[in-house]
Chains A and B, each alone.
Chain A
Amino acid sequence: MAVALPWMVNAYVVSLAATALVMAVLAMSAQLLVGLSGQPPLGQAAYLVVGAYTAATLATLTSLGPIHLLAATAAGAVAAAVTGLVAVRVRATTFLMVTFGVGELVHAAAGQWAPGGSEGTHIPPVVALPGLTPMVRPGWVYLYVLACTLITGAAVIVLTRTRFALLLRGIAAHEPRVQAAGHHTSRLLLAAYTLAGAIAGAAGALLVTVTRYVSPADAAMGVSALALAAALIGSGSMIGACAAAILLVAARDWAGGLLSGHGSTLLGLSFLALAYLPRHRLAGLFSRRDRGRT
């Protein structure tokens, strides 16, 4: 059904769906840190924007999408590896604040020095594979983004099955225990932070593919917050984070559009509803039934 979407709905909804996929990738980046390692990031949009500007700069040389994607991934990783040195020295709420600070600095730096300044910069349509024509129709863009999202998602899911991921979960549960097993936990967290930055960078390349435009506004705190919220709603699962990101974008942009611009109201309400309704309420119902049965 996800593949058939371009033939089922109008072009506006298709481009929204592509944006939702970009947010899903960013949510996976946040989930790697909060769901696996227990450290909540509030600055993932910074690496998204690093990736997006990398892709936009490359677009003057080549319009080949996969090259943009790889370069943006590498740029996101490098940016995260450098800024992560500050972030992984602290934990929990302080980590949240430090990553927020890094995000805001990148936001400000993009407005100051990035090509196009605060106006942002436009890029021509991207080519998916050599020999194909540039993707102008939203349907093709959507399918390209869907393919890239699936590839990224598969890579992330493989990552969550490694021993590295088990150690990250150990750090989330009890860090001294992992240290006592002989691991430099800050280095492990830096590796996780770098990988998360790479994923966010990839999301940035996909973003410019969808919007053909990048501006410092893409590094806004709201984008990071949406990614973190999606990860938290997804409660530890990558698929859950992706689903939550898609739902949140739908609530903000699509249903909000129908309600004549009350997108952020709806977004706030859906945060509350998602936090209270499904897990806690339903879990309560189930446990009560358990009690009655035995």
Chain B
Amino acid sequence: MSAPLLRLDTVSRAYGARRAVDEVSLDLHPGARHALIGPNGAGKSTLLHLIAGTLRPTSGRIHYAGYDIHRWPAHRRARAGIVRTWQHPALARPLTVAQNVLLAVPGQHLAALRLPPRASAAALDALDQVGLAEHAQWPTSQLSYGDQRRLEVAVALAAQPRLLLLDEPSAGLATTEVTRLAELIRALPTDIAVLLVDHNLDFVTAVADTVTVLHHGQHLTTGTPSDVRTHPEVRRVYLAEADPAKHVPTTPGATDPPAAAPPVLRVRNLRAGHHGAPVLTGVTIDVQAGRVSAVVGRNGAGKTTLINTIAGLHPALSGTEILLHDRLVTGLSARRRCRAGIGLVPQGRRLFVGLTVAEHLALPRPHPGRPRTVTARQILDLFPALGERRHHRPHQLSGGEQQMLALARALLAGPQVLLLDEPSEGLAPAIVGQLAAIITGLAATGSAVLLAEQNLALALDIAHDVAVLDRGTIALHAPAADLRADPARLHDVLAVPTESPR
């Protein structure tokens, strides 16, 4: 076989005493479709950073196309054809969608006043490949989260990569979009090597020929997707707990409070938009104590807008009524709503960059006069992993630990209703299982939970009732048990492509 395009030779990266990547060796040939999987904190993203040049290895060598590149700066590696995407969209928000892609299109003169037709064609082509061509002139900040993820991929494709590094490309995408992305990656020219990190195993199986499993920074095994799935060690550290049967709460119906219990949060005729374009045109939903209500829907359906509007971070349009325990909170600021008992775990976690875990947990204070109080100690009992990381800052935490911290921070304020925006995004199956158990546990102790989730399986697992958001309104609202029994109903509503209600 030909010489490998990329060869990692016992590459390590240490953060203080912790070895995020520990003597990993890996070969990638031109045309490879190689996936990296592993529990959160296994060092997958760090490994991508080491290859892309945003981090330097503490030891080991990286060979690329015959050169030892481990000292090359990031821009030099990019020029050599190593192109990467970020785990969370890292786009130039003030620029338009097309401009973001054009930043990456190579072969343009710095002093060029007019856009070369070749470059604009390349940019449009890249946008077309991910299905964003019609949004080319939009400001990037107006794209939905999933569309921003797709734009990330378009930017990477436009850079004409020889080695494409994708950091969780399927996170935040709906099922149909994940299928499209898998087809897109498979259809890339065979001289491009792809190395991707992802938690969606179906996606990994569909895309990758070879899978490498990392665990605690160490190489566990490499093989075909089916080899890896049956590997006993992999099953133990990564997959076994992901088996849905293990974490599904006992029949949700058994823990149901009487259906007649008055709802904690009542949303009536919620309307909201972005820059005058309506996104939500009358959403009505109730959240009861002790129950998990899930909102599912395609990307851009308005899930995040709904959550943010309830939390007071996004302006509601006239006619909207949001009631918390019969108290109208529509006119209140986000701060007052938080005091009144609305807790939010935002999408992408939104942790404070410079603060340690302990400092995060010291910040929230339940409002005096709130019946439920929670102490940091109780929270750390819920999330034992955080206790060991008390003096770490968010960038030193794995994705799963970050999500736990965001959840802990919201819980410390003693909320009466908890809004969760895509909590499972970017989490390993085993961690998703833990998260599901925690959310179910919270509901069992009397919290009301509203969950916006792209991960249908998780939503169906832990929710008592499921609402489908489509074209700005609730298209279907049914008990989760009914939908589990008859999944086709849900797929009919979700899978049919509809006009985007923007």
Question: What is the interface of chain A, defined by CB distance below 8 A to chain B?
Answer: 158, 161-164, 166-167, 169-170, 172-174, 176-185, 287, 290-292, 294
Q: Can you report 24 residue pairs joining A to B where beta carbons are below 8 Å apart?
A: A161-B113, A162-B113, A167-B110, A169-B94, A170-B95, A172-B92, A173-B94, A174-B93, A176-B54, A176-B90, A177-B91, A179-B73, A180-B52, A180-B78, A181-B78, A182-B75, A182-B106, A182-B159, A183-B75, A184-B73, A184-B75, A290-B276, A291-B318, A294-B276
Residues in A neighbouring B293, C-beta threshold 8 A: none
Interface centre among A180, A291, A292 (most CB of B within 10 A): A180
Residues in B neighbouring A185, C-beta threshold 8 A: 75
- The A/B interface has a contact count, at CB < 8 Å, of 87
Among candidates A172, A174, A182, A184, residue contacting B90 with C-beta atoms closer than 8 Å: A174
Query: Closest Cβ of chain B: how far from A168's Cβ, in Å?
Result: 10
Further contacts, 20 of them, CB under 8 A, given A169-B95, A180-B74:
A161-B113, A162-B110, A163-B110, A163-B112, A169-B99, A170-B92, A170-B95, A173-B92, A173-B95, A174-B91, A176-B74, A177-B103, A179-B54, A180-B54, A180-B78, A181-B103, A182-B79, A182-B106, A183-B75, A291-B318
Interface string of B78-104 (1 = CB under 8 A from A): 110001100000111111000100111
Interface centre among B83, B90, B103 (most CB of A within 10 A): B103
A287 to B315, CA, bound (A): 10
Question: What is the interface of chain B, defined by CB distance below 8 A to chain A?
Answer: 52, 54, 73-76, 78-79, 83-84, 90-95, 99, 102-104, 106, 108-113, 155, 159, 273, 276, 278, 315, 317-318
A166 to B108, CA, bound (A): 12
Residues in B neighbouring A173, C-beta threshold 8 A: 91-95
Interchain CB contact under 8 A, A294 and B278: yes
Query: Closest Cβ of chain A: how far from B197's Cβ, in Å?
Result: 16
Query: Closest Cβ of chain B: how far from A261's Cβ, in Å?
Result: 42
Interchain CB contact under 8 A, B159 and A181: yes
The residue in chain B whose Cβ has the minimal distance to the Cβ of A236 is B94
Interchain CB contact under 8 A, B110 and A164: yes
Query: What does DSSP make chain A's interface, helix, strand, loop or mixed?
Result: helix
Residues in A neighbouring B110, C-beta threshold 8 A: 162-164, 167
The residue in chain A whose Cβ has the minimal distance to the Cβ of B165 is A180
> Which 3 A-B pairs have CB atoms at the shortest separation, nearest pair first?
A173-B92, A182-B78, A182-B79
A178 to B99, CA, bound (A): 12
Residues in A neighbouring B92, C-beta threshold 8 A: 169-170, 172-174, 177
Residues in A neighbouring B112, C-beta threshold 8 A: 162-163
Interchain CB contact under 8 A, A179 and B108: no
The residue in chain A whose Cβ has the minimal distance to the Cβ of B316 is A291
Residues in B neighbouring A164, C-beta threshold 8 A: 110-111
Query: Closest Cβ of chain B: how far from A104's Cβ, in Å?
Result: 29
The residue in chain B whose Cβ has the minimal distance to the Cβ of A290 is B276
A184 to B76, CA, bound (A): 8
Interchain CB contact under 8 A, A170 and B103: yes
Query: Closest Cβ of chain A: how far from B90's Cβ, in Å?
Result: 5
Residues in A neighbouring B103, C-beta threshold 8 A: 166-167, 170, 177-178, 181
Interchain CB contact under 8 A, A163 and B75: no
The residue in chain B whose Cβ has the minimal distance to the Cβ of A293 is B276
A212 to B91, CA, bound (A): 49
Interchain CB contact under 8 A, B74 and A162: no
Residues in B neighbouring A292, C-beta threshold 8 A: 318
